[in-house]
């Protein structure tokens, strides 16, 4: 009698568990399918398109092998764009990181003013790229009715950095970094604050100086966050688009051309979707390498 009941209930439980498992797949499916439709399938299509001469409209694009890649690698502009992405990466790994970490450490001991500074530093970060870029373009970099124009009228030898081939890239990066660094302050500060107070007190009682306190007590605790931000900055530096396209469209004379604007021009100015796809694929390769590092670092960060 008891065995029969047990078997019957096990059958019912089994059915229920199977039903639950189906429900779990059903809960995961919408997110996966949506992402597949918008990201994965088009990404695979890009990988195929890169080997064709597709113009975005024709229904019978011809297979051209690695011709698109050969042409891109032979194009001086591709290498120039890549070089700009590397400069961009170096700039973003230094200026905002130093500002972000410096301010985070300063705010760590300022309990009362901390939240006010956080809000101020973060404000440019939450505003739209379009708004930020147009504000800088019109009221600061503007050589006639902007701050630059005003200083020129006062007799200063100054010009819009965006108009000069040697400074345009830095002029664009300055706006993007102005909008970005406050984000790092907030992230670093949150990480620093998770350092156990007892360890900080113990070290302070031992009479360590400020640098030793940061180096030996705080830094080990925030290392995974610092590493993660490092990888994210590298990834997003290779994808940088918004501020560049809004401020200069890659000009003047390609002095701010990046891989992203280079690919965008192929697709939407000259309708060479095959070539655009090839550049996209190269960018994807950089992204993929960084993604692997990112996945590795963040998994380690989550599991540690």
Give 4: exposed, middle or buried? Use CB within 10 Å, 0-12, 13-18, 19+.
exposed
Q: Which is nearer to another protein, 1 or 48 (CB)?
A: 48
Distance CA 77, CA 97 (A): 29
Give me the residues paired with residue 63 across strands.
Answer: 52
Residue placing its CB nearer to another protein in the complex, 1 or 27: 27
Alpha-carbon dihedral 241, 244, 248, 253, rounded to 10 degrees:
-80
Token pair belonging to 178: 């102005």
Nearer to another protein, 166 or 247 (CB): 247
For residue 143, the SS3 value is coil
Nearer to another protein, 203 or 297 (CB): 297
Report, in Å, the least distance between residue 183 CB and another protein.
6
CB of 181 to another protein, least distance (A): 8
Task: For 153-198, give the DSSP string.
Answer: HTT-----GGGSTTTHHHHHHHHHHHHHHHHHHHHHHHHHTTS-HH
Q: Shortest approach of another protein to residue 38 CB, angstroms? A: 4
Which lies closer to another protein via its Cβ, residue 2 or residue 154? 154
CB of 248 to another protein, least distance (A): 12
Cβ at position 26, least distance to another protein in Å: 8
Q: CA 192, CA 210: separation in Å to the nearest integer? A: 14
């Amino acid at each position: 009698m008891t065995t029969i009941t047990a078997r019957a209930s096990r059958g019912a439980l089994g059915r229920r568990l199977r039903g639950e498992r189906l429900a779990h797949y059903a809960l995961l499916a919408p997110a996966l399918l949506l992402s597949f439709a918008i990201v994965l399938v088009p990404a695979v299509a890009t990988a195929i398109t890169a080997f064709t001469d597709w113009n975005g409209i024709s229904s019978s694009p011809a297979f051209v092998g690695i011709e698109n890649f050969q042409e891109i690698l032979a194009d001086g502009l591709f290498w120039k764009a890549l070089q700009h992405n590397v400069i961009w990466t170096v700039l973003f790994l230094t200026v905002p990181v130093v500002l972000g970490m410096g301010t985070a450490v300063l705010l760590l001991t300022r309990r009362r003013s901390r939240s006010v500074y956080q809000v101020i530093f973060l404000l440019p970060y939450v505003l739209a790229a379009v708004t930020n870029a147009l504000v800088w373009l019109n009221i600061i970099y503007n050589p006639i009715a902007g701050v630059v124009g005003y200083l020129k009228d006062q007799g200063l030898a100054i010009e819009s950095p965006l108009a000069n081939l040697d400074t345009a890239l830095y002029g664009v990066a300055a706006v993007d970094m102005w909008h970005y660094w406050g984000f790092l302050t907030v992230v670093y500060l949150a990480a620093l604050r998770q350092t156990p107070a007892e360890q900080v007190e113990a070290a302070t009682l031992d009479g360590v100086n400020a640098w030793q306190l940061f180096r030996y007590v705080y830094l080990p605790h925030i290392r995974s966050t610092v590493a993660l931000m490092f990888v994210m900055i590298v990834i997003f530096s290779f994808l940088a688009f918004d501020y560049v396209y809004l401020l200069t469209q890659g000009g003047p004379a390609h002095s701010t051309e990046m891989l992203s604007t280079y690919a965008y021009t192929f697709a939407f100015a000259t309708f060479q979707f095959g070539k655009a796809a090839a550049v996209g694929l190269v960018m994807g390769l950089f992204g993929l390498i960084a993604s692997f590092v990112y996945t590795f670092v963040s998994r380690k960060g989550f599991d540690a």
